[in-house]
Structure 1
Amino acid sequence: MSVLNHTRFNHQTFTLTGIPGMPEKDYWIALPLFFLYSITLLGNITILIVIKHEQSLHEPMYYFLAMLAATDLSLSLSSLPTMLEVHWFGQYSVTFDACITQMFFIHTFGGVESGVLVAMAFDRFVAIRFPLHYAIILTHGVISKIGVTILLRSVVAVLPVPFLIKRLPFCHSNVLSHAYCLHQDAMRLACADTHINSLYGLLAVIFIIVLDALVLLLSYILILQAVLGIASREERFKVLNTCFSHICAVLLFYVPLIAMTLLHLFGKHLSPIVHTFMANVYLLLPPVLNPIVYSIRTREIRRQIVRVLWRTSS
């Protein structure tokens, strides 16, 4: 027992990984990362400011968009400290507690983003299926309750993860696979039985990601049924066009997630650089592109952003 405790004591830090096998090349990715994070912060903060200050955007659709922007912002800020430390400053060491804290926030906001996408699909369904009762069904109180429920669900689902990791002894390698901390990545370094961690992680994924994906699929089946009931072809196209930005957001979240999962399961023979690239894409792509997609595709958002920029420059 004393040997185990001593070994665990020596592993109170984890070593993060930049570009696998080429730490001297990390500075090459520092500038692109800084650029992507800058776009993420600027884009999502702009969306939040515009929705807050423009009275015409105080509608359910834009409130849910504000939730998505806030979630993307929080997810980016959760990974930003270690990503910049590794690639910009060459600091690869992270304390055990800091790593656990980071993985809690990354997994929590990942779950929140999935829930917000479901809420946005529900918003589109109500707007298309019950247009006359849209404002009555999605009142400010209902939207607030949906937001709180999404946050609490993710927090409750992820909260046991730090305690499950904390109880494990780490007496093997302390080198993580990425420049940030994930539950499954830290778990594989433990020198004890991790079946409980694996089982709970699987249940959490099913409860949040898989369940949300099924609800999203059902929502769009119902939306398509409602759209097909519209007589005019032009009206059908117009209604479906209101869902395009949300469909893009869903694809930006789920496609990298599925690709990374498949890579972990079947791509172990591939270069570690491929795994690192996909992990960064999964974490950075949605927060970077979501505000761009909504700014380009949503006329009201685009118009208000131009108006705000015009006021600022005047």
Structure 2
Amino acid sequence: MNPQILSLEGVSQIYTSRGANGWRRVDVRAVDGVDLDIREGETLAIVGESGSGKSTLAKMLLMLNHPTMGQVTYRGSTLKTLGQEERSRYRRQVQAVFQDPASSLNPRMTVEETLGHVANRHNIVAKAEVRSFLAAQLAAVGLDPPEHYLGRYPHQLSGGQQQRIAIARAIMLKPKIIIADEPLSSLDVSVQSQILQLLSDLRRTTNVGFVIISHDLGAMQSIADRTAVMYKGRVVEIGEAIYRSPIHPYTRLLLDARLLPNPRGTRIRSPAPRSVAPAASLATEGGCRFLQRCPHAIEVCAAVDPQLRPMGVGATHVACHRAEELSAAPTPM
């Protein structure tokens, strides 16, 4: 097992806004008490529907947001205690690739100017060697021959080419981790597979780790070492085998919703009751946040919020009161 490099301990992000009447303050827990470790050289996927807290989590890892509670640590050092020089070093070690590559590139700068600014800003190579260095970076991300791309502006590139430029900009600093927030969502399906293959190749050649935020479980299954499933600010399941043996009802729901390659095949992986369990009507503050949608809810689910716990040595961690029962039940494909 690779050593832990980045971790979140009891991390919460609470936003305060005005209520519908305009005077009452409302607290929204975008991320709520998340414990998560990220290992060196691994690909960790964070999946869930919109509003589950995935992007907020990514912002905290990138130091764009500071957690309301809890702490983020990098190699044992808490991020909020880092000095200016250490923060600068951290930002080089933890890079970002954003959802919309076009919006992350300056439309008035050519590819050479965009990447050259990073190279000069961080003194990566001597000025006389910058152009050849940039050409090598473009070739590394599949833009070959690089001379065809150095003089182009972002609008002269396809979406896949723009994303490759964004990846080249991140990888040229030789980071330990790249946080990629929905890097495939704006791309065609054929281009998505190419970008996934590029990420796999870069990981193999440079040992860079990836944290990929996505709602596409099908794409993440092909690349992730571990997958964390988030729901309403909490990680409800995390592990290596959630695609083969999902346990949490929400994970099963997400997998049921995937589009299958065979359009004639059934999309339902496991049968579920048509109606939600009666225990959902007993919901109280502090109970399971998936209660209202869970067909397996029982009375304890309405009163106690389940915590992540391991299901066997080195196996999946699940936040569900009935995890043992659900893991024992067969999950037909």
Higher relative contact order (CA 8 A, sep 6+): 1
TM over 0.5, shorter chain = no
Q: TM-score, normalised by structure 1?
A: 0.24
Higher percent of residues as strand: 2
Which TM-score applies when normalising by structure 2?
Answer: 0.23
Q: Which has the higher helix share?
A: 1
